[in-house]
């Protein structure tokens, strides 16, 4: 796999050695069990896969190259490069300004842009409407387009399905940048509707079978379907694609559920309704990280720490998985670990950071992070946990044992 040139501040002396060791032992990535670092009174269970993925490293390399190649010019990002506060803060310190926030709210008017400005498209991609705005302003984006190749793969699959007259069911969060971009690209060639979870897919199934009316469809999916969508017409031939950071297992479950419902209804009613096989749109990195997290759940953990941006979809899904087995603390970096008694953890349900007392209980600790989290931050988290827990062995000693 390609090696990217990313700033050294995001690299890691500890985790890099752990990952190198696991790669040497398991080059084909067949073993998803965690790496155990034994510090005597503390055992750290490090997930097999986590941290920067191909798409994130590609985006970071391009963004910093844009800074190096355009000294003296104004450089903008359409929105956050990735959902990690450390990375985005560093880009800001390098002079990059954000045109929109993650929800699409305008921070800098389009009218301020001119053809001499450099605009970077983030890893999530962008909508065709925004691309047209930039074109009309004379702003070129081709050179510094950091759209993840796996997001583009979904768009290409959507285009093919659309040309084959499929309606697209997009499994994603409607307000997420990637889903907004995918919806825009999908709508160019097909009708489309967005479902967030299995519950929304279940309602869509009622629309497929006619149990829910056209009016109920429009009410339930208001603002989440293409303008000319007619459920009585456009649910006869569908294909499921996804926001690449969703739970891969949930996307598959939704696709299989809709396929079963559609085929059974078609056979029973003697109508022509079909569902395309779209499993090839799942992102390998998202899938690997989630599989590694599921393997982490098999360990006797006293608690787990998940590190990443609080608005990171893929990170929140790792928290969702781990919550099924043990207490989980969702932190953006090591500064949220206050001391042995106190930690600040993001609650994905209330979307608030909570102060939790008496959190450091037991010595078996699971650690993982989202695909947009630098390994250097994991190093800092590990170091702080071991310092507070008074680990009986040094980090160097334990890491050397891996060799």
Of 168, 79, 85, residue with least CA distance to 127: 79
Of 374, 381, 377, 379, residue with least CA distance to 56: 374
- Identify the helix (H) or strand (E) that includes residue 192: strand 192-195
What are the backbone angles phi and psi of residue 244, rounded to the nearest 5°?
-65, -15
Give dist(CA 217, CA 26) in Å, integer.
48
Helix, strand and coil percent figures for the chain, each rounded to 5: 40, 15, 40
What are the CA-CA distances from residue 236 to residues 185, 257, 298 (Å)? 21, 15, 41
Question: Among the residues of 270-374, which ranges form H helices?
Answer: 284-296, 313-322
Q: What is the DSSP string of 367-383?
A: EEE-TTS-HHHHHHHHH
Q: Residue 242: CA atoms inside 13 Å, Cβ hemisphere, count? A: 28
Query: Catalytic amino acids?
Result: 178
Pairing label, strands 43-46, 364-369: parallel
Of 140, 129, 261, residue with least CA distance to 202: 261
């Amino acid at each position: 796999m390609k090696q990217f040139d990313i700033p050294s501040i995001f690299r890691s002396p500890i985790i890099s050695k752990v990952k190198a060791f696991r790669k040497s032992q398991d080059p084909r990535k067949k073993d998803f069990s965690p790496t155990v670092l034994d510090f005597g009174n503390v055992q750290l269970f490090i997930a097999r896969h986590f941290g920067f993925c191909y798409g994130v490293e590609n985006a970071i390399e391009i963004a910093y190259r844009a800074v190096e190649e355009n000294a003296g010019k104004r450089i903008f990002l359409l929105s956050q490069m990735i959902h990690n506060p450390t990375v985005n803060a560093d880009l800001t310190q390098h002079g990059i300004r954000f045109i929109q926030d993650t929800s699409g709210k305008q921070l800098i008017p389009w009218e301020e842009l001119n053809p001499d400005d450099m605009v970077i498209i983030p890893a999530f991609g962008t909508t065709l409407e925004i691309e047209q705005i930039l074109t009309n302003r004379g702003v070129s984006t081709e050179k510094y387009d950091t759209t993840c190749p796996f997001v583009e793969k979904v768009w290409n699959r959507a285009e093919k399905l659309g040309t084959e007259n499929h309606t697209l069911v997009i499994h994603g969060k409607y307000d997420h940048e990637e889903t907004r971009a995918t919806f825009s690209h999908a709508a160019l060639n097909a009708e489309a509707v967005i479902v967030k979870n299995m519950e929304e897919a279940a309602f869509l199934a009622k629309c497929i079978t006619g149990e829910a009316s056209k009016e109920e469809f429009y009410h339930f999916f208001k603002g989440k379907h293409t303008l000319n969508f007619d459920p009585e017409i456009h649910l006869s031939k569908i294909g499921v694609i996804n926001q690449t950071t969703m739970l891969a297992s949930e996307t598959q479950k939704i696709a299989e559920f809709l396929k079963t419902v559609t085929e059974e209804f078609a056979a029973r009613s003697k109508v022509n309704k079909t569902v395309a096989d779209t499993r090839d749109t799942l992102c390998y990195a998202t899938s690997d990280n989630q599989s590694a997290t599921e393997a982490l759940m098999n360990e006797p953990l006293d608690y787990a720490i998940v590190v990443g941006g609080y608005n990171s979809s893929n990170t929140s899904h790792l928290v969702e998985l781990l919550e099924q087995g043990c207490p989980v603390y969702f932190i953006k970096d090591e500064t949220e670990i206050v001391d042995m008694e106190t930690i600040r953890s993001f609650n994905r349900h209330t979307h608030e950071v909570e102060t939790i007392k008496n959190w450091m209980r037991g010595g078996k600790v699971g650690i993982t992070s989202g695909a947009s989290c630098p390994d250097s931050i994991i190093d800092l988290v590990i170091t702080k946990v071991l310092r507070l827990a008074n680990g009986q062995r040094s980090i160097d000693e334990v890491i050397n044992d891996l060799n």
